[in-house]
């Protein structure tokens, strides 16, 4: 059978198998197509998967399936393939996928009637140490009889598959690296209170990574000083800063955005948002302009950390029309910027925040990423985005296998937080770093969040060596039970002043009043009118000081330390045993990023080898 006849026969089979309207099959310059009734391509893909489609292709073959408004194109290159999925009135997705071994050999080009020529195949020795060979990320490997070989040891006709070179830059979405001018799809998150310090952001930027300064909870003067230092010292390197939602002090959000725009901060990590505010919309819209051909140019990038689909939907959709109209009316943005903002997602990068430290709903990443990915796809079609937003992963990422798992689920990038607190550059005390380095997976608990105390929101914290979670929960119970400090039983008040606060309520109020007089005097007016709010501010004094005592290493207050931490810290410590990172002095944030990504790339190559049969029978086990 000729090449064309073989392709035609297979195309006719494939158009039926995949319920497509049209199938085009091409190889080595030859091409054939077949027509069918169609109407079931999407369901067939859901039922069989891309892997089954890839298995029907020989190396070098290309298949194009069309049905209704969807087109799927897959080209096989050894053990992987280039996949493109597009909709007539919707987005186009392109990605490289791992494929199982082909069911068909490459179509023969031997003329009809002639016998195939005898080929003497000489195969060299397989690699001695398969794990070590896979760890050489820049060196591709080939497979012969379920063994790994260097490519020069096996002639092309004897190769049964290959494990491609996989540098860390190949992990995640290529567009992430391009859009943010970084070497890999890895982000160091914004740990509040300056824990994600200027030094940490600089170290990551100089190493080619993106990191966010942890501005949440800091005085506005300190935030401005950090923004000035970062903008002046990093030049065109990528960096960002935090914008922490503050429902109790919306003016602080506005002042922070003023500084972000003034000092040229092009990337913002939007954290703890439950609803959208004019401040975050203004930051995004103020960075929009038109290119030479009228195209939208996005200068200000929003990274939204979310743990609920309903919150993610707000960031994945364009900015609300009513907020944009208000900003135009106030002269904060132009009418054209409002128009552009109505055509693009508010956040180009949305991070699925799973079981993380600090503010968290402790959702499982394996549920959150698929949900947000589907939501992203639905909204991209609804709003007809030419470029869909990206979904990243955070929470529970503390070793190479967890990083690999996140990328395998489709994460465009990964974001780490808790594990960076024990790094040299983190803006916290040596005592806290030591406590973190000794933590296990289960050494975490939840307690009331200082910035959302009255709302009952929680933060996840280190429990080993600290009683913050228990003590903060007791304060919230008292807040719910009484309408003011004057209603708390006298013995309870005395015990709180002596054992917990180590100050009288009057002393705390004097300090608290001075703080709010400078930050927001309206809080004092409200507290003097409302005894329950007065009590809340007193309790928030303690809650706020606990994180400060931790950062400063206050020795007398160790049992009160509020150290934001998720279970990933315990995972990292377990992985670090027996490595240089077992020592705190070796934990440099960029080195940790390099090691985790290198390990994740190894895991990916190992998975490819396993899928192609290597490891069955003992090897790689």
Q: How far apart are CA 378 and CA 273, in angstroms?
A: 22
Per the CB < 8 A criterion, the answer to whether 446 and 460 are in contact is yes
Q: Are 488 and 527 found together in one domain?
A: yes
Residue 286 pLDDT: 98
Within-domain flag for 60? no
Structure tokens at 271: 């954290």
* Own/partner long-range contacts of 541-547 (Cβ < 8 Å, ≥24 apart): 541/508, 541/511, 541/512, 542/475, 542/500, 542/501, 542/508, 543/448, 543/449, 543/450, 543/453, 543/472, 543/475, 544/217, 544/450, 546/450, 546/468, 546/472, 547/192, 547/193, 547/217, 547/450
Within-domain flag for 159? yes
Q: Are 483 and 522 found together in one domain?
A: yes
Q: What is the pLDDT of residues 93-118, one digit of tens each?
A: 667 777 877 765 443 333 444 444 44
More confident call, 145 vs 49: 145
Alpha helices in 149-286 (DSSP H): 174-180, 198-206, 220-234, 250-262, 278-286
Q: How far apart are CA 496 and CA 492, in angstroms?
A: 6
Average pLDDT, the chain: 91
Within-domain flag for 10? no
* pLDDT beyond 60 at 488: yes
Residues with Cβ within 8 Å of 102's Cβ and at least 6 positions away in sequence, in order, are: 54, 55, 56, 57, 58, 59, 76
Residue 90 pLDDT: 58
Lowest mean pLDDT among 11-15, 63-67, 520-524: 11-15
Question: What is the average per-residue pLDDT within 533-546?
Answer: 95
Q: Are 601 and 516 found together in one domain?
A: no
| 3 state SS of 49 | coil
Nearest to 589 by CA among 180, 211, 183: 211
Residue 616 pLDDT: 53
Within-domain flag for 600? yes
Nearest to 74 by CA among 14, 133, 132, 19: 14
- Would strands 358-359 and 147-150 be described as parallel, antiparallel, or unpaired? unpaired
218 forms bridges with which residues in the sheet? none
Q: How far apart are CA 146 and CA 136, in angstroms?
A: 19
Residue 499 pLDDT: 93
Q: Are 482 and 523 found together in one domain?
A: yes
Nearest to 472 by CA among 567, 562, 564: 562
Length of the chain: 621
* Own/partner long-range contacts of 71-79 (Cβ < 8 Å, ≥24 apart): 72/41, 72/45, 74/50, 76/102, 78/161, 78/162, 78/164, 79/143, 79/161, 79/162, 79/163, 79/164, 79/608, 79/611, 79/612
**In which band, very low, low, confident or very high, does the pLDDT at 92 lie, cut at 50, 70 and 90?**
low
Per the CB < 8 A criterion, the answer to whether 65 and 72 are in contact is yes
Q: Are 541 and 608 found together in one domain?
A: no
Residue 118 pLDDT: 42
Residues with Cβ within 8 Å of 111's Cβ and at least 6 positions away in sequence, in order, are: none
Q: Are 456 and 560 found together in one domain?
A: yes
* pLDDT beyond 90 at 584: yes
- Angle (CA) 438-444-450 rounded to 5° is 120
Q: How far apart are CA 104 and CA 327, in angstroms?
A: 60
Within-domain flag for 488? yes
Q: What is the pLDDT of residues 560-572, one digit of tens each?
A: 999 999 999 999 9
Within-domain flag for 526? yes
Structure tokens at 380: 């991209």
How many Cβ atoms sit within 10 Å of the Cβ of residue 621?
7
Q: Are 507 and 540 found together in one domain?
A: yes
Alpha helices in 452-565 (DSSP H): 468-481, 490-495, 505-519, 522-529, 531-552
* pLDDT beyond 50 at 44: yes
Q: Are 482 and 534 found together in one domain?
A: yes
Segments forming the whole domain that contains residue 546: 444-569
Q: What is the pLDDT of residues 4-35, one digit of tens each?
A: 667 788 888 888 888 899 999 998 888 888 89
Q: What is the pLDDT of residues 245-299, one digit of tens each?
A: 988 788 889 999 999 999 999 999 999 898 999 999 999 999 999 999 999 999 9
Nearest to 381 by CA among 175, 88, 65: 88
Mutual angle of helices 250-262 and 278-286, in 10-degree steps = 10
* pLDDT beyond 90 at 179: yes
Q: 0.75 exceeded by the pTM?
A: yes
Q: How far apart are CA 145 and CA 159, in angstroms?
A: 9
Q: What percent of the chain has pLDDT over 90?
A: 73
- The torsion region of residue 305 among left (phi > 0), alpha (psi -120 to 50) and beta comes to beta
81 forms bridges with which residues in the sheet? 76, 97
Within-domain flag for 604? yes
Q: Are 505 and 544 found together in one domain?
A: yes
Per the CB < 8 A criterion, the answer to whether 260 and 268 are in contact is yes
Residues with Cβ within 8 Å of 483's Cβ and at least 6 positions away in sequence, in order, are: 531, 532, 535
Within-domain flag for 389? no
How many Cβ atoms sit within 10 Å of the Cβ of residue 486?
11
Per the CB < 8 A criterion, the answer to whether 38 and 64 are in contact is no
* pLDDT beyond 70 at 367: yes
Q: Are 595 and 561 found together in one domain?
A: no
- Would strands 210-213 and 240-244 be described as parallel, antiparallel, or unpaired? parallel
Q: Are 509 and 467 found together in one domain?
A: yes
Q: How far apart are CA 155 and CA 141, in angstroms?
A: 12
| 3 state SS of 54 | helix
Structure tokens at 8: 């035609």
Q: How far apart are CA 336 and CA 60, in angstroms?
A: 47
Find the radius of gyration of the CA atoms of the chain: 28
* pLDDT beyond 90 at 309: yes
Domain tally, the chain: 2
Q: Are 482 and 542 found together in one domain?
A: yes
Q: What is the pLDDT of residues 460-481, one digit of tens each?
A: 999 999 999 999 999 999 999 9
Q: What is the pLDDT of residues 381-435, one digit of tens each?
A: 999 999 999 999 999 999 999 999 999 999 999 999 999 999 999 999 999 999 9
Q: How far apart are CA 439 and CA 435, in angstroms?
A: 7
């Amino acid at each position: 059978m000729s090449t064309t006849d073989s392709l035609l026969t297979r195309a006719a089979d494939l158009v039926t198998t995949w319920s497509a309207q049209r199938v085009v099959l091409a190889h080595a310059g030859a091409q054939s197509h077949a027509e069918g009734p169609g109407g079931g391509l999407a369901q067939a893909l859901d039922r069989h998967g891309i892997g089954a489609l890839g298995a029907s292709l020989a190396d070098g073959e290309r298949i194009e399936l069309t049905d209704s408004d969807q087109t799927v194109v897959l080209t096989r290159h050894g053990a992987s393939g280039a996949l493109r999925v597009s909709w007539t009135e919707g987005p186009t997705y392109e990605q490289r996928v791992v494929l199982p071994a082909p069911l068909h050999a490459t179509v023969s080009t031997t003329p009809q009637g002639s016998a195939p020529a005898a080929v003497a195949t000489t195969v060299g020795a397989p690699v001695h140490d398969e794990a070590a060979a896979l760890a050489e990320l820049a060196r591709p490997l080939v497979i012969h009889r379920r063994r790994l070989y260097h490519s020069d040891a096996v002639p092309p006709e004897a190769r049964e598959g290959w494990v491609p070179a996989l540098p860390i830059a190949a992990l995640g979405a290529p567009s992430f690296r391009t859009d943010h001018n970084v070497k890999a799809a890895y982000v160091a998150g914004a740990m509040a209170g300056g824990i994600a310090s200027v030094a940490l952001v600089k170290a990551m930027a100089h190493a080619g990574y993106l990191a966010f300064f942890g501005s949440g909870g800091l005085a506005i003067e300190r935030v401005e000083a950090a923004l000035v230092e970062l903008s002046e010292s990093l030049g065109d390197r990528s960096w960002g800063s935090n914008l922490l939602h503050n429902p109790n002090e919306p003016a602080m959000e506005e002042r922070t955005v003023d500084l972000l725009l003034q000092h040229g901060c092009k990337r913002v990590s939007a954290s703890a948002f439950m609803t959208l505010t004019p401040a975050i919309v203004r930051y995004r819209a103020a960075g929009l302009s038109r290119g030479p051909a009228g195209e939208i140019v996005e200068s200000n990038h929003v990274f939204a950390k979310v743990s609920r689909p309903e919150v993610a939907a707000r960031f994945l959709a364009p900015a609300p029309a009513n907020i944009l109209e208000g900003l135009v009316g106030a002269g904060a943005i132009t009418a054209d910027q409002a128009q552009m903002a109505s055509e693009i997602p508010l956040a180009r990068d949305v991070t699925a925040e799973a079981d993380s430290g600090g503010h968290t709903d402790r959702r499982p990443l394996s549920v959150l990423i698929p949900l947000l990915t589907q939501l992203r796809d639905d909204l991209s079609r609804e709003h007809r985005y030419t470029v869909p937003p990206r979904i990243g992963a955070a929470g529970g990422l503390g070793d190479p296998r967890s990083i690999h798992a996140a990328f395998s689920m489709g994460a465009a990038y990964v974001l780490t937080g808790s594990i960076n607190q024990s790094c040299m550059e983190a803006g916290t005390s040596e005592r806290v770093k030591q406590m973190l380095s000794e933590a296990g997976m289960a050494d975490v608990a939840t307690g009331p969040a200082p910035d959302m105390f009255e709302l009952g929101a929680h933060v996840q914290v280190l429990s080993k060596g600290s009683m913050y979670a228990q003590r903060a929960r007791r304060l919230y119970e008292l807040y719910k039970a009484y309408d003011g400090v004057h209603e708390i039983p006298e013995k309870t008040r005395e015990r709180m002043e002596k054992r917990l606060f180590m100050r009288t309520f009057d002393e705390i109020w004097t300090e608290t009043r001075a703080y709010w007089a400078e930050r927001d005097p309206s809080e004092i007016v409200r507290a003097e009118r409302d005894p329950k709010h007065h009590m809340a501010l007193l309790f928030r004094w303690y809650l706020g000081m606990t994180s400060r005592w931790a950062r400063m290493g206050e020795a007398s207050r160790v049992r009160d330390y509020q150290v934001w931490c998720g279970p990933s810290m315990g995972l990292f410590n377990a992985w670090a045993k027996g490595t240089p990172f077992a020592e705190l002095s070796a934990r440099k944030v960029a080195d940790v990023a390099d090691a985790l990504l290198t390990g994740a790339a190894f895991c990916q190559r190992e998975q490819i080898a396993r899928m192609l049969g290597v490891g069955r029978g003992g090897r790689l086990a």
